[in-house]
């Protein structure tokens, strides 16, 4: 796997992990924290070897809204991907087996006032904007 593929996989892993960290940290509706989300975080915690990677995961889990901490986690994931072929294979299998692994990104340039923007994914979503 070449370095750009590893960087892309690390980015995908971080995008995959971020919503779960937000949910588990209580930054979103608490009831939305699913058992599978907890399992995903545990999966990463169990497989990210080394104190630096574990510290980055703990820091990102404590502050999942902080892009700098998530970037630090992404870099640690990238390092583990480069060094550990087994982790690389397992991560590819994890992402492939969970359809929600597709990341979404929304960019909006809004002018004026009283504008509302929303983004949702998943199943059985109910949105009320008032």
pLDDT in tens, 36-86: 667 778 888 888 878 899 899 989 988 888 999 999 999 999 999 999 999
Q: Give the span between the Cα atoms of 64 and 7, in whole angstroms.
A: 20
The backbone torsions φ and ψ at residue 24, rounded to the nearest 5 degrees and listed phi first, read -70, -25
pTM: 0.65
13, 95 Cβ separation under 8 angstroms:
yes
Q: Give the span between the Cα atoms of 128 and 8, in whole angstroms.
A: 35
Reported as a single tens digit per residue, the pLDDT across 84-116 is 999 999 999 888 886 554 445 556 677 888 777
Give, to the nearest 10 degrees, the angle between helix 85-97 and helix 35-47.
170
Q: Give the span between the Cα atoms of 17 and 23, in whole angstroms.
A: 10
Sign of CA dihedral 16, 53, 40, 18: negative
């Amino acid at each position: 796997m070449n370095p750009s593929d590893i960087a892309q996989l690390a980015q995908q892993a971080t995008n995959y992990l971020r919503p779960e960290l937000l949910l588990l940290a209580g930054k979103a509706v608490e009831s939305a924290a699913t058992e599978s989300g907890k399992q995903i975080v545990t999966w990463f915690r169990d497989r990210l070897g080394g104190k630096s990677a574990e510290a980055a995961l703990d820091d990102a889990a404590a502050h999942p809204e902080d892009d700098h901490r998530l970037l630090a986690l992404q870099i640690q994931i990238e390092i583990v991907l480069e060094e550990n072929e087994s982790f690389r294979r397992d991560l590819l299998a994890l992402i492939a087996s969970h359809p929600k692994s597709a990341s979404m990104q929304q960019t909006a340039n809004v002018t004026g006032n009283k504008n509302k923007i929303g983004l949702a994914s998943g199943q059985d979503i109910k949105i009320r904007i008032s």
